[in-house]
Amino acid sequence: HVDRSIDGPRNFLHSNTVGVFELLECARTYHQKLPGDLLTTFRFLQVSTDEVFGSLGADGAFVEDTPYSPRSPYSATKASADHLVRAYHETYGLPTLITNCSNNYGPFQYPEKLVPLVTLNALSGQALPVYGQGQNVRDWLHVEDHCEAISAVLERGEVGSTYNIGARTERTNLEIVYAICDALEEILPAERDSELSEPGAGGYRDLVTFVKDRPGHDHRYAIDPSRIERQIGWRAKKSFDAGLKETVRWYIENREWCVEVKAGSYDGGRLGLAATPNHRGER
């Protein structure tokens, strides 16, 4: 989670970079000892992110050859891990693959992420925080489509290659929040939500609250998945509208899971409020 990397970058360095190094070393040792038949089928797959490419303008999309330009501790540590994976392929012959995916959504996502956070906050009548003016754009991919893409890359991907995974579903953050509110109104209308009546809001959209933007917030991400579609034959199946509505319904029906998974570790508050220096370098 990008906001967590702003609050505690060291943990991300240890996990995303040093952790991948340790996995590569373990895989290299294991791979060297494999018999011939298993040697040819072994793969090391690095699941990366579109955030390593940085921020796009109003046009264009990330392709596999887009230069890396990470702008947060999270994306920088993921980018460094990707470079290590490529180096182990070139230096040691480790049969590696890299996938760079867009924003995931779906069931069982940790509640600090945008879709579950907005859904659960709305259900309990809490504010729905939107960074800045909500105009940052993300490309959205259902988790089941992502898992199928990973499986396809492992089975049919060219060793040493990178594949971008996306569903060509760009939305502003504000559009996502409004879409969640509309899905909630359809599944559990605000007038029937006893918790929502407490703050006196007329509907879920009335809970939208604009907050100070995230430090270094990239403006737009967009994935061009042409290579994986052309070379491997994978294509996203889940429409965003249907997938989002299914996801919202899942969180409504599984609120106990959300309570349990958050217990003692996350209270729903905002993360990533890093202190920033003023023009004199003071804090």
**Which residues are known to be catalytic?**
50-51, 74
SS3 at position 108:
coil
85 neighbors 220 (Cβ within 8 angstroms) = no
Tokens at 243, concatenated: 């997938």
217 residue type, one letter: H
Give the up-direction half-sphere exposure of residue 39: CA atoms within 13 A in the CB hemisphere. Answer: 7
* Sequence-separated (6 or more) residues with CB below 8 Å from residue 190: 184, 196, 201, 202, 203, 204
Give 198-246 as a DSSP string: TTT-SSGGGGEEEEPPPTT---B--B--HHHHHHT-----S-HHHHHHH
Tokens at 143, concatenated: 């988790």
Tokens at 87, concatenated: 């180096």
First vs last Cα of the chain: how many Å apart? Answer: 25
128's enclosing H/E stretch is strand 128-131
